[in-house]
Chains A and B, each alone.
Chain A
C-alpha cells in the first residue's frame, strides 16, 4: 500500500495503549484502564528504538520499566523505557504488537507524538520515493 509523504516526512497513524495483561489486571481490580491513544507517528530510520511522547505515558498512568542511556544530538541522556501495546491499523492486515518504547520529548515535533524506529522497521520493507513524495510499508506478517 502506498502513502503520501507529509510535510514532516513519512507519517502514519498509530494506536498506543496499555499492554494487554496490564489492561486486564487494571480492569479486574477496578482501577482505571485508559483507552488507547491515537498518535501521529513518524517513520524514523535514524532511531534504533521507537519513541513515545512522555506526556502520553503520563496520561495512560504508565510506569517506566527500565532506564536506558540514549545518544542524542546534545549529550547522553538517561531516559525511561515503557512497555506498550502498539497498533498501526493503516497497514494491510494491521500491525499489532507489544514493544518497549523510550519516553521522551520529541524535538521540533510539529505534532509528531511517536517515532517508529528500526526496532519496528527491521520487521518490514520500507520504500521511500522522494520523486513521487510517497512511501510504502509492508510487514512480513500481518501481526508479530
Chain B
C-alpha cells in the first residue's frame, strides 16, 4: 500500500487498478493519468508530458510506462530526501 504522503498516490492507484487492461492493449506505451481518470496513451514519455501540460497546465499528473514489472534504476550516489 502506498503511503498517504507519496506524490501521485491517487494516480498510481488508478494505474494499478487498470494495469491488466493497459498491459493487454498498450504494453510499452506511456499512459497519462490525472486523479482517477486515464486521459490518454502515447508512444513516448515526452508526448504524454506535453499532452499533460495542455490538459492540466500546473495540476499534477502521472506519466507512466505500461510494463509488466517496473525495473529499478541503478543510481549508487543518491539517497532519500
A interface residues with partner B (beta carbon < 8 Å): 19, 21-22, 25-26, 29, 31, 44, 46-49, 51, 54, 61, 63-74, 76-80, 83, 98, 100, 102, 104-108, 115, 117
Contacts and interface: CB of A to CB of B under 8 A. Distances in A.
A47 B63 contact: no
A115 B60 CA distance: 25
B21 interface: no
A98 B73 contact: no
What's the interface size class on B, roughly? Answer: 20 to 34
A88 B71 CA distance: 29
Nearest to A73: B76
B7 interface: yes
Interface of B: 6-8, 12, 45-46, 49-50, 52-54, 57-64, 70-81
Given A25-B53, A66-B63, A47 B46 contact: no
Nearest to B65: A66
B77 A102 contact: no
A66 B67 CA distance: 14
Contacts of B79: 72-74, 77, 104-105, 107
A100 B76 contact: no
B49 A19 contact: yes
A19 B34 CA distance: 19
Given A26-B58, A65-B52, A107-B78, A100 B73 contact: no
Given A83-B45, A83-B46, A107-B79, A69 B70 contact: yes
Contact of A67 (B6, B52, B74): B6
Given A21-B54, A25-B57, A47-B74, 6 more contacts: A21-B53, A48-B73, A63-B7, A64-B8, A66-B63, A76-B72
A100 B74 CA distance: 15
